[in-house]
Each structure stands twice: as structure tokens, then as C-alpha cells.
Amino acid sequence: MKKIGKGSWEQFWLTYKNKPGSLAVLICVILAAAITVGVLFSLIIYILVNGVVHLKPELFAWEYNTSNMSMMPAIISTVYITALSLLMAVPVGIFSAIYLVEYAKRGSKLVKVIRTTTETLQGIPSIVYGLFGYILFVITLGWSYSMLAGSVTLAIMILPLIIRTTEEALISVPDSYREGSFGLGAGKLRTVFKIILPCAVPGILAGVILAIGRIVGESAALIFTSGTVAQVPGSLFDSARTLSVHMYALLSEGLYTNEAYATAVVLLVLVILINAFSGFIAKKLATR
């Protein structure tokens, strides 16, 4: 007697012919996944198809002026602001995670408070960060619209992300490593820096890359902190616009759609690269 395969259409028909409800649900499920992927691909393809033609070499000129909306200064500012924010958030985030995982007593009151606050920070919308940065750094501390004000604001914004990913990375280091190191007479500090942190580097790195993605994509938190000046900043206290802010500025002026397309392409490619890299590291982690 011939068997019908588990995945065959015949079997499918036999299973669903009396169950129209289930069949409808199945179709909805597949449709939902198709819509999700479809939206993503149509967005990417739309931006790339319409944008690539506008990627002119002069858009990468050093100087931004009224006749040439070069995005080069914005690219450089993006790099500066990313580097500055990471410089502040990464050490604080890692140290904070080390305290939570290696030093704090489980379930202590302080740990609970820290957890609640990091979760709160994670939920605050970027526009609120922007206004906070504006009030505290720009106005109260008198830094005016500046790279520094923008970077500190972003550093606070990405802090919970760094803390969480580092925590996860530290927790996944087996306890036997700690015991092994203590067994050799190493102190806690030495164990943390020589044994545990090196093991956790890939996990931390994946978090840092995600944070870079958030910084590159951020606009609402920067407009009122680092401002929108489209020149290469000369000092920490100069205003600077990142690529995302550059794109917003182009769009809100309403005259520079083509340049906005080109900027969108650059942003999109950056984000895709960042995501791919973070995915690559995560995969490395999983196969380890």
C-alpha cells in the first residue's frame, strides 16, 4: 500500500477539509509573516531603488553649503557622537553590570532599585531624553547646543542596553571559571578582569553594536541637545548634526527630497551592516 507523506497536499487536504476555521487561521498566520517580511523588503527596495540614483559624489564633499547639501560633515559628526557616547556609556555600563552580577547580593534592595531604574530608562521615549538633555545640559549647565550635550544624553539613553547585555554575558560565564580562579588564590578583582570579562567580550560587543545602531538611528533626542548645525564640529562644545538629524533637517525644509533619499540609503546601509555584524557575533556566541 502506498503511503502518503506527512507534508503532502493530500494529507493536508484530509486534515483541513472538515476544519475550515483552522484552515483560515493557518492562512492568517502565514499571511502575517508574509506581511512582516513584505513591509521590510518593500521599504528597503523602495529606498534603495529611489535613493541610489541620488547618491552623487558631491554629496560626500567636505564642505556643506547652501548649494551642496553634503552629508560628509554629518557622517563625521555621527562618528564623533557615537564614539563619545560609547566612551561614556560602555565603561559605566560594564562596571554597573559587574557590580550587579559579581558583587551585589541577589535580591538586595539596591539591586531591585537599580533594575527598576534601568527598566524605566529603557522605556523613556527619545523625545523625553531630548528635552531632559536640553533642560539640564544645554540650558542649566550652559553647554548650549553641543556635541557634548548630545553625547551625554545618548550615553544615558543607551546605558540600560549596555548594562543588560553585559549582565547576560557575565551570567553566562560558568561558575566553575570563578571557582577555578579563586582556587588559585586570585582575588575577586583579578578574577573579574582576567577571567570573567574576557569570556564575556563577545556578548558585550554584540550589545555595544546594538547601541551603535540606536545612536546612528537617533534623531529626536539630538535635535534639542546637539542641535542641527551642518558643519564638521571643531570642539566638544560645537553643535553637530548626525546623519539622522541631517535627514530630518533636509525633510523639514521640504526642498531637498533627493538629498534625503541619498541620506536614507546611507543610513539604511549602515543599519543593515550594523545588524549583520551584531547577528554574526551572536551566531559566533551560539556556536561556541
Considering only residues 53 through 82, tell me which ones interact with other proteins, judged by CB under 8 A: none
CB atoms within 10 A of CB 189: 10
Q: Least Å distance between CB 92 and other proteins?
A: 5
Query: Would you count residue 136 as binding other proteins (CB under 8 A)?
Result: yes
Spatial contact of 217 and 242, defined as CB atoms under 8 Å apart: no
Query: Would you count residue 117 as binding other proteins (CB under 8 A)?
Result: yes
Spatial contact of 218 and 126, defined as CB atoms under 8 Å apart: yes
**Cα 230–Cα 233–Cα 234 angle in degrees, nearest 5:** 145
Q: Which residues pair with residue 77 across a beta bridge? A: none
**Residue closer to other proteins, measured from CB, 42 or 63:** 42
Distance CA 46, CA 50 (A): 6
- 165 grid coordinates: 547585555
Closest to 225 (Cα-Cα) out of 238, 209, 214? 238
- Give, in order, the Cα–Cα distances in Å from 188 to each of 92, 106, 130, 181, 183: 19, 17, 39, 9, 11
**Residue closer to other proteins, measured from CB, 73 or 213:** 213
What string marks each residue from 258 to 287 as x (binds other proteins by CB under 8 A) or -?
Answer: --x---x--xx--xx-xxx--x--------
Query: Would you count residue 229 as binding other proteins (CB under 8 A)?
Result: no
Query: Would you count residue 4 as binding other proteins (CB under 8 A)?
Result: yes
Using CB under 8 A, which of 53, 135, 171, 184 touches other proteins? Answer: 135
Q: Least Å distance between CB 25 and other proteins?
A: 4
Q: Least Å distance between CB 143 and other proteins?
A: 14
Residues in contact with other proteins, total (CB under 8 A)? 96
Residues of this chain, 178-197, that bind other proteins according to CB under 8 A: 187-189
